[in-house]
Structure 1
Amino acid sequence: MNAIAYLDALRNALKDVMEPFIPSIPMAVYFGADALINSCELKTLVVQNAPRVVIGGQPNELYTLVMIDPDVPNPNAPHLSQLVSWIVTNIPGGASCAQGTEIASYVGPNPQIGVHRYILFLYQQQARLDDIDAIESRFHFNVEGFANRHNMGNPVGLSYFNVRRQANGRNANA
């Protein structure tokens, strides 16, 4: 994908969520043995279990991974947006998210209408986060507000994919 196509795909993935940014910390996302390619469409059966996420950065730095669905319940009327699907804090740089602290357990995508975007944001922490309140509701989450409350600033990494639901209610990829 050339730079212009990449920026267009990034703008589309982030619309109504935040301003586009250029990731500075690499992250690799694997569902099973397959590496995620940004903007691809995945089958719900493939994404029902938490992915393995490996991040760049230095071992003395800590990161937070947040995954959201900004299109819930319907991409044309996302009145419950954002749905938080997963939060892992205190991930050491150069490590897997399995070495972090899971704050909100992984909930696999299950769109009810249309094509939903699923976005994984990576934030650099200023310090270890041990006092995060439990997430009361997965609906109406605000990823930027969460990052600001915990002094994380702007995201430093990003990965995203799509999952489709057919009009007849059956998953298009099942």
Structure 2
Amino acid sequence: MSLAIGRVIGDVIDQFTPSVTMNITYNSHYTVVNGHELMPNIITSKPHVKIGGVDMRSSYTIVILFLCTLKNIYVYACINVFFFYMKIMTDPDAPSPSDPYLREHLHWIVTDIPGTTDATFGTSCMDNVLIHSYCKKVMYAELIKNSGYVTGREIVSYEKPKPAIGIHRYVFLLFKQRTRQSVRPPSSRDHFNTRMFSQENDLGLPVAVLYFNAQRENAARRR
């Protein structure tokens, strides 16, 4: 089902032209497909989001230094960042599709997602010492755990969908940021407005959008 038929275009966003691919997977193998339904017990934990279609024309490099205790030398990681993305998840049917007076209900915001996570390594030594694989593993772990360069910054934590009444649409929107930026989280999850939020943060139109449907567990099983 298209975004227009599902009224995502209109209720949440204006017409746009997708420029990257976005794949969203719950529990490792439940893929989000526009208009398809997912059971509530599948969507309790945050999904894995994979972004493709990187534009390499505007890039810069982040250099991070680590002390490799195994060889007692400084090791650097060069991360080539082409640009950053922001992903948003909302429910335009809260609390019910027939009376969505809380539209949109915000479920998730992650900012500063790098357009690539490719990394190269080097050392502070002049004799080109071979970097031990252990050091690389430690560096990757530190990058993922502390820096936010690999996974982005979660400014609104993932809230699992709870469709109490009727069939709800859950919309994922991907925006391209002009640079890393400080984004103020909304004061409330209710009455979130994607268009207004995009304007306030100079995001423009989204570059990719996906949505799925969900309803209360008992109602879904009766269908």
TM-score range, shorter chain: 0.7 to 0.9
Is the contact between residue 124 and residue 156 of structure 1 (CA under 8 Å) also seen in structure 2?
Answer: yes
Q: What is the aligned partner in structure 2 of residue 104 from structure 1?
A: 156
Structure 2: tracts of 5 or more residues without a match: 56-80, 118-147
- Aligned match of 1:159 in 210, 214, 221? 210
- Please identify runs of 4+ aligned residues in structure 1 that moved more than 3 A: 5-9
Matching of residues 11-50 of structure 1 within 5 Å: 11-34=6-29, 35-50=31-46
Structure 1: tracts of 5 or more residues without a match: none
Q: Distance in 1 between matches of 2:7 and 2:38?
A: 17
TM-score by length of 1: 0.85
Change (3 A) 1:8 1:149: closer
Following superposition, the deviation at residue 24 of structure 1 comes to: 1.2
Q: What is the aligned partner in structure 1 of residue 220 from structure 2?
A: 172
- Aligned match of 1:53 in 49, 52, 55? 49
SS state of the match for residue 220, structure 2?
Answer: coil
Q: What is the aligned partner in structure 2 of residue 127 from structure 1?
A: 179
Following superposition, the deviation at residue 136 of structure 1 comes to: 1.1
Q: Distance in 1 between matches of 2:24 and 2:181?
A: 23
Amino acid corresponding to residue 46 of structure 1 in structure 2: I
- Aligned match of 1:67 in 71, 74, 89? 89
Following superposition, the deviation at residue 107 of structure 1 comes to: 0.5
Following superposition, the deviation at residue 27 of structure 1 comes to: 0.6
Q: What is the aligned partner in structure 2 of residue 116 from structure 1?
A: 168
SS state of the match for residue 41, structure 1?
Answer: coil
Following superposition, the deviation at residue 8 of structure 1 comes to: 4.6
Amino acid corresponding to residue 153 of structure 2 in structure 1: T
Amino acid corresponding to residue 42 of structure 2 in structure 1: V
Q: Distance in 1 between matches of 2:3 and 2:198?
A: 23
Work out the percentage of aligned pairs sharing the same amino acid. 36
Following superposition, the deviation at residue 20 of structure 1 comes to: 3.1
Is the contact between residue 64 and residue 89 of structure 1 (CA under 8 Å) also seen in structure 2?
Answer: yes
Following superposition, the deviation at residue 124 of structure 1 comes to: 0.4
Q: What is the aligned partner in structure 1 of residue 73 from structure 2?
A: none
Following superposition, the deviation at residue 6 of structure 1 comes to: 3.4
The structure with the larger Rg is: 2
Change (3 A) 1:173 1:42: farther
SS state of the match for residue 158, structure 1?
Answer: strand
